[in-house]
C-alpha cells in the first residue's frame, strides 16, 4: 500500500508555519509599516529608523505582557540612552565609556527581576545602533537634524505599540504583574557585557570602523550564559552573517538601485527581529536584507567582508569577556569553598 502523497505546497506551508511567528509578524508590520509609508511620502530617511524603536518596544511588550506604563518607561530609557550616546559620540573616550556603561546597566537590571534582561537588551540595542547610524557618513548639522526628527517623531512609535498591546490585553487578559525572581548572580554577567562592549567600542573608535554598531551589538549579544552557550550563539551569528550577507549583496547586484526596494529591504530587516522562531534563521535573513538594502542604496562596496568581520570581531570580544569573568568566578568560589556555578546565566 502506497503512502499518501503530500503536496509540495502543503510541506512548504508547514515549514513556514514552524519558522514564522505570524501573529508577531502582523503586529510588527502594524508598528513599523507606517514609518515606511511616511518615508515614501516625505523622502525623509530618518523616519525609517523609527521602525527600530517601534520593534524594540514591541518585542518585550509581547514577550513579557507589559502594561502601557512599563512600555512608556522603556521608551524613555531608549531615548535617554540614545541621546546620551549621540551627544557623546564626538568625544571618543566618553562614547566608549558610556556605551560600556549602557551594556552594564542593561544586564544589571536583572538584580530586580530576571526578565529585566529583555527590557535592558532592547533599550541598549536601539540606542547604540541609532547613535552610530545617525552619524554615519554625514556632517554634524545633518546628524543633529536626523536625531531631532527621530526624537520628535518617536512618540508615534510609542502610541502604535501601546495600541497594539492594549488590543492584545483585551483579548488575552494577561498583564504582567512581576518581572520574575531577582537574578542571584547579576554582577559578573553585567561586568562581562561591559568588558565586551568597552573593547568593541574602543576598537571601533580607534580604527574608525564603518558600521561599528555591528561590532558593539555582537559583543553584547553573545553574552547569554556560560562559555558554551555564548560560543553557540556566536556560531549561529557567524553562520547567519556568512550566508546572509553575501546573498544579500548578490541579490542587490541583480536589482536596480531604487528607493522603493531600499525601504522594503529595511522594513524586512526590521521585521526579522521578531518574526522567526529560530534565531539563526532570523539573523541570517536580517543580514541578507541589510546587505540588500545597502546595495540598493548604492553603498554595498565591501559590505560582505565588512559585516561578516564585524559580527565575528564583536562576538570574539564577547567570548573573551565571558571566559575572563568565568575564570574570576571560579577563583572566587574556590576561595569561598562553595560549589561553582555559572554566574553569566542571568
Q: Domain ends where: 161, 184, 207?
A: 184
pLDDT at site 224: 84
Q: Domain ends where: 184, 207, 222?
A: 184
Does one domain contain both 297 and 229? yes
Does one domain contain both 213 and 99? no
Does one domain contain both 167 and 222? no
Residue 114 DSSP symbol: T
Does one domain contain both 139 and 224? no
Does one domain contain both 97 and 206? no
Q: Domain ends where: 130, 154, 184?
A: 184
Instruction: Please give the tally of structural domains in the chain.
Output: 2
Q: Is residue 3 part of a domain?
A: no
Does one domain contain both 149 and 250? no
Does one domain contain both 57 and 35? yes
Q: Is residue 16 part of a domain?
A: no
* Sequential DSSP letters for 122-175: HHHHHHHHHHHHHHTTS-HHHHHHHHHHHHHHHHHHHHHHHHHHHHHHHHH---
The domain of 325 spans 185-334
Q: Is residue 213 part of a domain?
A: yes
**Angle formed by the axes of helices 92-108 and 68-88, to 10°?**
160
Contact 219, 230 (CB under 8 A): no
Does one domain contain both 158 and 289? no
What cell was used for 329?
A: 568566578
Q: Is residue 117 part of a domain?
A: yes
Q: Is residue 66 part of a domain?
A: yes
Q: What is the pLDDT along the chain (346 residues), one digit of tens a residue?
A: 455 555 665 666 777 778 888 889 999 999 999 999 999 888 888 899 999 999 999 999 999 999 999 999 999 999 999 999 999 999 999 999 999 999 999 999 999 999 899 999 999 999 999 999 898 878 889 999 999 999 999 999 999 999 999 988 887 666 766 788 888 788 888 999 999 999 999 999 999 888 888 899 899 999 887 788 888 998 999 999 999 988 998 898 888 888 889 999 999 999 999 999 999 999 999 999 988 988 887 765 556 667 788 989 999 999 999 999 888 878 877 777 655 555 544 4
pLDDT at site 346: 41
Does one domain contain both 61 and 210? no
Does one domain contain both 206 and 176? no
Q: Is residue 2 part of a domain?
A: no
pTM beyond 0.85: the answer is yes
Does one domain contain both 59 and 127? yes
* Sequential DSSP letters for 161-212: HHHHHHHHHHHH--------SPPS--HHHHHHHHHHHHHHHHHHHHHT-TTT
Q: Is residue 134 part of a domain?
A: yes
pLDDT at site 345: 46
Q: Is residue 343 part of a domain?
A: no
Sign of torsion over alpha carbons 283, 54, 164, 264? negative
Residues 275-312 as b/e (b if ≥16 CB within 10 A, e otherwise) read bbeeebbbbbbbbbbbbbbbbbbebbeebbebbbbbbb
Does one domain contain both 203 and 164? no
Amino acid at each position: 500500500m502506497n503512502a499518501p502523497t503530500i503536496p509540495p505546497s502543503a510541506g512548504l506551508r508547514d515549514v513556514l508555519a514552524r519558522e514564522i511567528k505570524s501573529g508577531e509578524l502582523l503586529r510588527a508590520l502594524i508598528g513599523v509599516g507606517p514609518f515606511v509609508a511616511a518615508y515614501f511620502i516625505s523622502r525623509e530617511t530618518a523616519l525609517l529608523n523609527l521602525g527600530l524603536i517601534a520593534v524594540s518596544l514591541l518585542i518585550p511588550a509581547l514577550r513579557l505582557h507589559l502594561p502601557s506604563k512599563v512600555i512608556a518607561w522603556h521608551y524613555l530609557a531608549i531615548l535617554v540612552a540614545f541621546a546620551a550616546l549621540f551627544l557623546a559620540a564626538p568625544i571618543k573616550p566618553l562614547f566608549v565609556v558610556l556605551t560600556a556603561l549602557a551594556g552594564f546597566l542593561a544586564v544589571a537590571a536583572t538584580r530586580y527581576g530576571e526578565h529585566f534582561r529583555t527590557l535592558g537588551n532592547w533599550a541598549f540595542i536601539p540606542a547604540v545602533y541609532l547613535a552610530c547610524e545617525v552619524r554615519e557618513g554625514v556632517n554634524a548639522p545633518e546628524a543633529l537634524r536626523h536625531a531631532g526628527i527621530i526624537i520628535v517623531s518617536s512618540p508615534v512609535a510609542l502610541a502604535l505599540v501601546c495600541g497594539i498591546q492594549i488590543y492584545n490585553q483585551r483579548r488575552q487578559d494577561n498583564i504582567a504583574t512581576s518581572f520574575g525572581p531577582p537574578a542571584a548572580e547579576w554582577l559578573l554577567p553585567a561586568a562581562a557585557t561591559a568588558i565586551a562592549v568597552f573593547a568593541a567600542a574602543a576598537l571601533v573608535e580607534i580604527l574608525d570602523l564603518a558600521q561599528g554598531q555591528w561590532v558593539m551589538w555582537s559583543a553584547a549579544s553573545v553574552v547569554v550564559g556560560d562559555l558554551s552557550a555564548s560560543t553557540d550563539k556566536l556560531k549561529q551569528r557567524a553562520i547567519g552573517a556568512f550566508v546572509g550577507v553575501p546573498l544579500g549583496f548578490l541579490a542587490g547586484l541583480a536589482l536596480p538601485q531604487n528607493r522603493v526596494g531600499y525601504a522594503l529591504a529595511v522594513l524586512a530587516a526590521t521585521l526579522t527581529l521578531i518574526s522567526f522562531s529560530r534565531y539563526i534563521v532570523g539573523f541570517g535573513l536580517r543580514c541578507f536584507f541589510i546587505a540588500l538594502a545597502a546595495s540598493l542604496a548604492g553603498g554595498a562596496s565591501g559590505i560582505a567582508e565588512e559585516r561578516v568581520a564585524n559580527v565575528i570581531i564583536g562576538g570574539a570580544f564577547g567570548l573573551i569577556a565571558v571566559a575572563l569573568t568565568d575564570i574570576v568566578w571560579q577563583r572566587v568560589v574556590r576561595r569561598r569553598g562553595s560549589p561553582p556555578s555559572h554566574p553569566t546565566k542571568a
